[in-house]
Structure 1
Amino acid sequence: MKILYIIMITAIAIFGISKISDKNEVSLDAERLNNRLNEVKEMVKTNSKYNTKIAFFIDMKIKSGKKRFFVYDLVDDKILAEGMVAHGSGSETSIPGNLKFSNEPNSKSTSLGKYSIGSSYLGKFGKAYRLHGLEETNSNAFKRNIVLHQYSAVPLEDQLYYISNSQGCPMVSEVFFKQIEKIIDDSKSNIILDIYY
């Protein structure tokens, strides 16, 4: 037990891992999600190129050690799946858990807003999906090479500590990626991904 404690303290010192405080923990806020849902439903209803049945939502108010990526059924109004997702290292602030966001190239930050999930390609992390920003807050996503991809260091289940950061991409576990990959590939129209705070 003592050895495990020493290893944990060493990891915190070396890697800067911060423990998530229970009193500061934020869970899914139904009202905030509902506001985003209404916007997405209106958007897909008026544009035939978007999927009207499924959308993805990422709530950046939820700490990175908790599941905050939600696959949502727009028809039956329910969450179908949820998973862990990393944010950009450039979104970190001096206060753990408080994030900042940017659309600027080389910022390594997460950009808020709605994205259209585009075509897939094989990159350094395997299969990934190009993301097209649909708002002023994420208009540089394609130019910044912001993509939806998997990474082995992203855990599948909730953690006591914050997870690793990306270079600005929404980065998920390999297992969760396989779940959403099937949904994206089976869709005949573009799925909307909404990242909000």
Structure 2
Amino acid sequence: MPGFTGCDSKAEVNHHKVYKEATSNNLTDKERAKLHSYAAAAAVYARQHQFNTTFCFLIDMSRPSGANRFFVYNLQKDSLETDGLVAHGRCNENWLEGRKYGNVVGCGCTSLGRYKIGNPYSGRFGLAYKLYGLDTSNNNAYNRFVVLHSHECVPVNEVAPNEICQSDGCPTVSPVFLTKLARKLDKSAKPVLLWIYD
């Protein structure tokens, strides 16, 4: 069973030593259409709310956790730039089968919806970014300490059909992938939109 990674709780670590970077080319036509649809909606939201209109981050929680489902999407070129693995919340269970979502403080679940990515800081897991929920489905994200951070239990390469570790609600990526995300975030003069959907 994969290990767990917490947001504001101590993590149980399952180390993976994988350094080769992989980009998913195995999206189904339906998944690609879904990604395109959310990207189009994200582009409109970004323009209307003074977010970065060059790129956004999209996470499709309907995909298996061992498959790349964190997408860096180029809004100007209307194309996928890169993707990576991301953990989902275990809802305070030892191991969450399937998906459950929540927005209550202490629930340990992933919250669906749009987020503004805040400033970077150094936390329990090193570099992290505050997240501010923009919808009623995730408006407790800040009070829940839901942040974008990395953990070594998240591998760089896809491992599907195997699953990866689960979090306490944070979108948790590999250290290698967070470095890539940070390079984009640090250059952005405007807030960047993160959208988690199912």
| TM-score range normalised by the length of the shorter chain | 0.7 to 0.9
1:167 paired with 2:160, answer no
For 1:117, the equivalent position in structure 2 comes to 117
Cα 1:39–1:92, aligned 2, differ >3 Å: closer, same or farther?
farther
Match of 2:140 in 1: 140
For residue 103 of structure 1, what is the aligned residue in structure 2? 103
The answer (yes or no) to whether the contact 1:111–1:168 under 8 Å persists in 2 is yes
Higher helix share: 1
Q: Deviation at 1:33?
A: 1.5
Q: Give 2:140's aligned amino acid.
A: N
- Length, aligned pairs only: 174
SS of residue matched to 1:34: helix
Unpaired runs of 5+ in structure 1? Answer: 1-10, 16-25
Change (3 A) 1:27 1:144: same
Identity of aligned residues (%): 36
Letter in 2 for 1:105: V
Hey, what's the Cα distance between the residues in 2 that align with 1:116 and 1:55?
A: 10
How far residue 67 of structure 1 moved from its aligned partner, in angstroms, is: 0.6
Which structure is higher in RCO with an 8 Å CA cutoff and minimum separation 6? 2
Deviations 1:3-47 (A, max 9, x none): xxxxxxxx68xx9xxxxxxxxxx9450222222122211111112
Between structure 1 and structure 2, the one with the greater Rg is 1
After the TM superposition, which residues 120-131 of structure 1 pair with which residues of structure 2 at under 5 Å, given as runs?
120-131=120-131
Structure 1 stretches of 4+ with a deviation exceeding 6 A read 91-95
1:50-69 matches, within 5 Å, as: 50-69=51-70
Structure 2 regions of 5+ residues with no counterpart?
A: 3-11, 13-25
Equivalent-residue separation in structure 2 for 1:87 and 1:76 (angstroms): 29
1:120 to partner: Cα distance: 0.9
* Structure 1 SS opposite 2:54: strand
